[in-house]
Copies of this chain bind each other. A is one copy, B any other.
């Protein structure tokens, strides 16, 4: 799908951020290091910096997602960029224009970066392929394919709590089949060299090619959680149940909901993550979501720093103070 698109330039510097695929370990670590330079200390705000002053960043959202759009808008404004929100649904495509014409038109308006959200897998690559030289594209979620900044904020959260990736056992629990986040996470975890990635899911929510992704597959939650250091819960899309892939919320929780009791199977210092919004009592019990091992809200905070890192790196403007 992305054979023709290079995400880095000839010097290995970030140009687009479309998927985790194709990045080496040092490159992902460089993103995490740069994010570190933006990350807030506990109780402190992220400080606005002038790195992208004068740059125009366009949020090109073909699919509504207020929360994701807002985190990118916030990250851009903290970098002193100007932000244009372009909701494509209400615009030109409604007038019968082709997608490519819409893109060419938006591009002719001269943005420095497009942050793209689209319901079709591969849309961000398509847009990057047709972007003018010097224009960066960031994938903010395309179909079931990828959501790389979400994966990187998860990696950042893990590194902040666990330090070294090498010895870690990580379990991803839930609807692997329909999750662009899970695909990106698995790739990032393997690239960063964790000891083991497990996926835990009912058979109906597991893609056929799961075993080729370099993961261990479990269908039993208790067994899968045994001794893990990191638990990543996925959001259950309630639409799935209507399509008979799942019996009921109640039954799902009985089998795959993360409860305090089940959490005891994991390592004593295991952290619990979730991309939000959480369905309390469906994929996770409230006492776990709000408990001492949950780092769910820190993920949201770290998301701003990680997006600032990716945006500033792709536009060639990094703080420079990031540790090598």
Contacts and interface: CB of A to CB of B under 8 A. Distances in A.
Interface of A: 40, 43, 45-48, 53-54, 56, 64, 66-67, 70-71, 73-74, 77-78, 82, 84, 86-88, 90-92, 95-98, 101-102, 104-106, 108-110, 112, 132-134, 238, 276-280, 297-301, 303-304
A84 B73 contact: yes
Given A67-B92, A70-B109, A101 B278 contact: yes
Contact of A300 (B105, B112, B298, B301): B105
Contact of A110 (B45, B106, B112, B277): B45
A95 B43 CA distance: 29
Contact of A112 (B45, B82, B106): B45
Nearest to A92: B277
Contact of A56 (B43, B78, B104, B280): B78
B108 A301 contact: yes
Contact of A108 (B95, B104, B280, B298): B298
Taken together, the copies of this chain in the complex come to 3
Nearest to A277: B97
Contacts of A98: 280
B54 A48 contact: yes
Closest 9 CB pairs of A and B: A108-B300, A66-B91, A97-B277, A48-B54, A77-B82, A108-B297, A108-B301, A92-B277, A95-B277
Q: Most B CB atoms within 10 A — which of A56, A106, A108, A238?
A: A108
Contacts of A88: 66
Nearest to A238: B96
Contact of A74 (B56, B101, B102, B298): B56
Nearest to A54: B48
B97 A278 contact: yes
B91 A301 contact: no
